[in-house]
Chain A
Amino acid sequence: MLHFLRNSKITVLAALVMLGMVMGGAHNRAEERNASFFPENVVRVVLKPLQQAVSGVIRVGDAAAHTARPRSSLMRENEQLRAQVRTLNMEVQRLREDSGEAKRLRAALGLKAKSPDRLVGARIISRNPSEWFITATIDRGKSAGIQPGQAVITPWGFLGQVITVSPTTAQISRSDPEGHSGVGAMVQRSRAVGICINQQDPEYLHLTYLAKDADIKPGDVIVTSGQGGVVPKGLPLGRVLKVVPESGGFIKSAILSPSVKFDRAEEVYVVLRKVE
């Protein structure tokens, strides 16, 4: 076998390139059908324990590096955290008030509170293996009920969607399984709707297709609009940094600072809604 490989190297190269193209085509077709691709699944199943081990070692290393910090830095951080706790306590009080009011209004209207979505918790075990795509691997897959297209969230807001699944892992991305990166969005204050799309730079998001007279200003919070039914409504997407008019002047758009940085998320939740 090895002797054959050495003697017919051009044939081997051509055959492997052809096989690569065929597998690439089959992979794309599987993605279009939201199905999993067997060779990819095999690799992911084999790699999962190794990825978990490396991720664990790095987490322990990070924790050790975090612990061994100078006293002055810890005191500064402590002071910042105290200030943050004070602000958050005020916010909690305000939200309790809002939540109580919403409950009372719902009861008054005779509406039954909708049961919350079922969530599956997962840990990110690998992220951005290639600079060309903003993707990550989570340690739960098809066996936990995860399907391509489902929304991935964190306690701080919307993170992205599942693009492919294997029995024990799933790939998540800011884009949906068809590669479209848009998610329905709205301004929390004025309810003006638009579409939030990815930027090449993961530090920013782009909110576009806003009506030219939409009420939006820097500092506004942008949340998911829930259009399409897969992504739950009201999840924070980001905060407006800058509002820019689009060429032609029919619509305007805004640059957002995402509420969840894809690169920094560790524990995530997949919303188990049925995807058509």
Chain B
Amino acid sequence: MQRYLLPSLLILLAAAIQGNLPDWLIIKGGQPDLILVALIATALTLDPATGAVLGFVAGLVHGAITGESLGSFIVTRTIIGYAAGSLTVRLFSDNPVVPVLAAGGLTFAGEFIFLLANPTPDLIGGVNMILAKSLYDSLLTIFVFWFLRWTEIRRKIKMASARL
């Protein structure tokens, strides 16, 4: 259970920071989505079903702090969490390219579904914003992902030392 505590706390912390991001971080209308970064990075270290549960929590948190389109947030984040968890099963996630591509691709796919569910009059602006956000998220995910891997490895070493 302890293994799931850190991801949940990370999502809550990401949600608290998300609403206080400085304006200068916005490029082409897009800003990093820290809740999504926390979700993808953690789901990449877990399995698909747990990824989906974390995605559900991330969607509920993001929808609650936005106050709009709660259902769209929950559904897109649940699918993203599941997909990120599936990538761990299918790909060797120690490869640094995996978290970068996974975060970029999943952010783009998830936000595009969100755009379809909540159409905006400025479609090109919306797509530009998604591209900027995907790029941001891929760059940030690598740091969060390696931080989680590092804590996991430390935890395993501690357990092994305790057994010896």
Chain A residues within CB distance 8 Å of chain B:
2, 5-6, 8-9, 12-13, 16-17, 19-21, 23-25, 27-28, 37, 39-40, 43-44, 46-47, 50-51, 53-55, 58, 125-133, 135-137, 163-164, 171, 173, 179, 200, 263
Contact = CB atoms under 8 A, between A and B. Distances in A.
Contacts of A13: 48-49, 52, 78-79, 82
B13 interface: yes
Given A20-B75, A200-B120, A200-B125, A133 B53 contact: no
Given A12-B53, A51-B65, A130-B66, 6 more contacts: A16-B56, A125-B19, A129-B19, A130-B33, A135-B66, A135-B67
A163 B67 contact: yes
B70 interface: yes
Interface of B: 12-13, 15-23, 26, 29-31, 33, 35, 47-50, 52-53, 55-56, 59-75, 78-79, 82, 85, 114-115, 118, 120-122, 125, 129, 133
A98 B52 CA distance: 62
A132 B49 contact: no
A9 B20 contact: no
A127 B19 contact: yes
B18 A28 contact: no
A173 B120 CA distance: 17
Given A19-B56, A24-B72, A54-B17, A132 B64 contact: no
B27 to A, nearest CB: 11
Contacts of B53: 5, 12, 16
B47 A21 contact: no
B12 A133 contact: no
A241 B9 CA distance: 46
Contacts of A127: 19-20
A49 B132 CA distance: 30
A43 B82 contact: no
Contacts of B21: 128
Contacts of B121: 200
Nearest to A179: B68
B16 A17 contact: no
Given A47-B65, A132-B118, A133-B68, A54 B16 contact: yes
16 contacts: A9-B52, A19-B74, A27-B70, A39-B60, A40-B70, A43-B61, A50-B12, A50-B13, A132-B69, A133-B67, A133-B69, A135-B66, A135-B68, A136-B19, A164-B67, A200-B122
Given A12-B52, A54-B17, A58-B20, A20 B12 contact: no
A45 B31 CA distance: 25
Contact of A163 (B68, B74, B125): B68
A126 B19 contact: yes
A37 B48 contact: no
A126 B52 contact: no
Contacts of B33: 130
Given A40-B64, A200-B120, A17 B18 contact: no
Nearest to B23: A263
Contacts of B82: 9, 13
Contacts of B69: 24, 132-133
